Each structure stands twice: as structure tokens, then as C-alpha cells.
Amino acid sequence: MKVVDFMTLGQRIKQERIKQGISMNKLAKSVGIAQSGLSDLEAGKRQVSFETAIKLIEALGFKPNEFFSNKQPAQSPEIIQLIKSVEKLTPEQIEQLTKFIDSMTEK
């Protein structure tokens, strides 16, 4: 008999947040909620609206269907975080970063 691992939304968000190395404060700010609200959600003391839940899931780099499935996302959390960081760069900064990465990977 297979045992089903059930997690609340808050537990799952906490698991992914920690796995990706994102602080509670950073995640809360990115979706426009108080850190105390996120803390209460992760502890199972509070529920959030559907809209806020979707914002949290997307801020962690998931599509909602990926987040609730047992399958891993197409990209690793590290790659997702890199993509989010790169999206904030100017085209010139992206060009410099690309050159830097190329120099690191040359053999």
C-alpha cells in the first residue's frame, strides 16, 4: 500500500522557499504581503486568498500545476533563481554576464 505524503500549502511553500535559499522576508515582499503573514501561512496558522497563493507559487518559479504535482519542475530551483536575476539586468549587463559565463565554461 502506497502512503500519500500530504502537505499543507504553507508547508509546501516553506519547503520550496528553503530549498531555493529564499528568505521569508524576500518572498513575502515579492508578493506584497507581510513577513508575519507568510510566517503564519507556513506554520498553518493562516490561510491566504487564491490570488496570493498563486503569487507565492509563481514567485517560487512554479506554474500552479507543477507546484501541486509530484513531478519536478522543468528547471531546477537554482536555474529558476538565475533566470529571475538575469531578467533584472540591462542588455549590456546580460552581454557581460554571457561573456563571463563563457569564460568559465571554456576548457
What is the residue extent of each domain of the chain? 1-73, 75-107
Which pLDDT belongs to residue 4? 44
3-state helix, strand, coil in the chain (%, to 5): 60, 0, 40
11-53: pLDDT as tens digits: 999 998 998 889 999 999 999 999 999 999 999 999 999 999 9
Tell which CATH architecture fits domain 1-73: Orthogonal Bundle (1.10)
Which residue in 77, 9, 74 sits closest to 46, CA to CA? 9
60-100: pLDDT as tens digits: 988 888 887 766 556 667 777 788 888 888 999 989 988 98
